[in-house]
Structures are given as C-alpha cells and as structure tokens.
Structure 1
Amino acid sequence: MYAIDFAAVGAWNHLHDLLTSGLDAYSYAPHPFREYFYTLVVLDPVVVVLIVLRRPIAPILAAGVVAVDLLGNWISDWQHYHNDLGWLVGNKGGLIQLTAFAVFVFATAAPLRRSFAHRLALVGDGSTRPRRARADRRCQFR
C-alpha cells in the first residue's frame, strides 16, 4: 500500500505537475512548501525503494514525508476550503484522500518499522534466509 501510493500517486502527481507547469506548478503555495513539493519528486521514490527493501527507517521516513505534505496542502489551500467546502471533496489535489492515507501511514508506521527491524535482525546480511542460531559452544557432556 505504501509503495503503490507513494509511487503511483505521490511521485507521479508531483512529477506530472513539474513537467506540465514547470517551476510555477506550486506558485500558490507558501515559499517553504513550494520547494518541498518539488523535492517530493525525489523523496517519494526514495520512500518506495526503502519500503520495497524493507528498511526499518522507511515507515518513519514515509510518516515524515506525508506529514509535511499534508500540512503543506492544508495550509496552501485553506482559503479554498474555508470559502467552499465542496472544493475539499472535488479538488484536483485530493486532500480527503491524502488525509486518509496520512492517517493510515501514521497508524501503521511503528508496527511496520518493528516488523522490518525484526526481519532485518533475522536476516541481517541481506540474504533471504533466516540466520541459524549459534550453537552453544560449551561441551554438553563432561
């Protein structure tokens, strides 16, 4: 779910905006968020790669990326929501969907991180097979 959303929705939308509108794509957003929205062209694929590789940092990075993205979208588009609640549901940006996805990421980031860390502890060296437990080196029969 993480990888699909960050790749198909996040990275694609930000890349599409950048390619079709250039550096004016996010001119409506406050300055810091404008630059952040551009960096999502790189950050979203990084999250996808780390999730696919099951790195423990990936869910935490995903939560941070989506938190700032959500905050930037709410702040940037507040005037539209304040004046017309219908815009909230029908807008191109899909703030309802982004908010729902953010709640999902926030709720699952810690358990997913633990799962990835547990898997990494079992595998450790990057192979797909679990490590064997070390044999007790003490002699059992004296």
Structure 2
Amino acid sequence: MYVVGFLEGTVAHAYFLVAGGPAAYSYAPVPVQLLFHALLLLDPLAALLTVRVHPLGPLLCAGIMLVDLTANWWVQWDAVLTHPAAFVRPVGLLPMTLFGVLVLSAAFPLSRALASTADVNDAGRRRTKPVTDGSATDGVGACAWSPTTVTELMKRCGVAHGDDGCADSADDGRQRHSAARLDEWRASVE
C-alpha cells in the first residue's frame, strides 16, 4: 500500500512537471513549489526504502506525507471552504488525506517492528525473524543467544552458575551430566 501510494505520487509530480514545466505549481508560494518538485525525488526514495524493508522507510513516508498534506491543505484551503463538496471525490485531496492518515498512524509502530527485525548478529548477517525470546536465527543455521537466554537455558538444564560465571556444584558427575544435557539441547535447536 505504501509503495503504490508513493509511486502514484511520483507519477503525479512527474506528470505535472512535464505538463507545466518548472512553473507547474505557480499558483502556490515558492516554498510549496520547491517541496512539490522535491517530492519527485523523495516519493520514489520512500517507496524504495519501503520495498527494502528499511526501518527509516515508514519515518520518511510519514515526514513526506506530513509536509505534503500541510502544503496541499494550505494551498487549497480557500477552495475547500468555498466549495467543500467539490473535494469529496476519489482523486485529489480526499484520498491523499486518507492515505496520509494511514501512513502517519502506522509510521512509528511499523518502524519499530522493522527495527526489531533488522538486528544484526556478530557476523553482520541480517536476522530473518524478529527477536522475541532473546534468540533468532541468522538464516544459515547458527543461533544468536542473549545472556538472558543462556542463563535461563542453564537453569532449565540444571547447571548452576556462581558470580564468576563458573559452575559451583561440588558434584563433578552432576556437572558433566548437566553440561551434556545442555550440549544436547543446543544441538537440537541448531
């Protein structure tokens, strides 16, 4: 939905530039004209970041929609007050505003969700699933473990840890058995 909306914006701004040249937006103040021309580059950038599932994509989309809608409403405000029914149609200000509300309301949650899936493990490879339980695979079978996950895992397997991180059990047989259970469990999840 994001990509289609921003590509449609790109096409619209390109059409206006081709049809009207640099003066295509001469009805608007100069800052708004510059913004509308800049959207010819910003809209496809937002679409690209969205397709690439980049965490900054939704934030850029929200910023673009915020300034674009502000500029459009500012320029068309008098006409909206004079003939409000003329703006209730499937093109123009109404669908732009609805799309803008969608983009703005989803920007922060979507950006956070994308950022959680973009965590990178030590090898620099992108993880393929969000980190929800302290671990995630890196797409090649190896697992990235957080200290919390390892501690919980060791508790479940019966391996005790002291402050120095070394096993404290007096029974070497129990330590070896617990360590073997831990190794066995790790092998089963990898």
1:15-51: CA deviation from partner (whole Å, max 9, x where unpaired): 1110111111111111111100000000000001100
Letter in 2 for 1:133: A
Q: Which residue of structure 1 aligns with residue 188 of structure 2?
A: none
Matched, 1:3 2:14: no
Output the CA distance in 2 between the equivalents of 1:134 and 1:91. 51
User: How much has 1:128 moved relative to structure 2?
Assistant: 5.2
In the alignment, is the contact (CA less than 8 A) between 2:62 and 2:107 conserved in 1?
yes
Letter in 1 for 2:109: P
Output the CA distance in 1 between the equivalents of 2:116 and 2:25. 40
Output the CA distance in 2 between the equivalents of 1:134 and 1:126. 15
| Shift in CA distance, 69/138, structure 1 to aligned 2, threshold 3 Å | farther
Q: What's the TM-score, normalizing by structure 2? A: 0.66
Q: Which residue of structure 2 aligns with residue 81 of structure 1?
A: 80
User: How many pairs align?
Assistant: 140
User: How much has 1:114 moved relative to structure 2?
Assistant: 1.2
- Structure 2, gaps ≥5 residues long: 130-136, 151-164, 168-174, 180-190
Structure ranking higher on relative contact order (CA contacts 8 Å, 6+ apart) = 1
- Write the mapping of 1:29-108 to structure 2, written as runs, cut at 5 A: 29-90=28-89, 94-108=92-106
| Shift in CA distance, 138/95, structure 1 to aligned 2, threshold 3 Å | farther
1:108-142: CA deviation from partner (whole Å, max 9, x where unpaired): 11111011101101676347584222496978748
| Shift in CA distance, 125/98, structure 1 to aligned 2, threshold 3 Å | same
User: How much has 1:97 moved relative to structure 2?
Assistant: 0.6
Letter in 2 for 1:110: F
- Structure 1, gaps ≥5 residues long: none
Q: What's the TM-score, normalizing by structure 1? A: 0.86
Q: Highest Rg: 1 or 2? A: 2
User: How much has 1:54 moved relative to structure 2?
Assistant: 0.9
Q: CA RMSD in A?
A: 2.5
Per the alignment, in what secondary structure is the counterpart of residue 121 of structure 1? coil
**Percent identity of paired positions between Structure 1 and Structure 2:** 34
Which consecutive segments of 4 or more residues in structure 1 shift more than 3 A?
126-130, 134-142
1:3-24: CA deviation from partner (whole Å, max 9, x where unpaired): 11101x2111001110111111
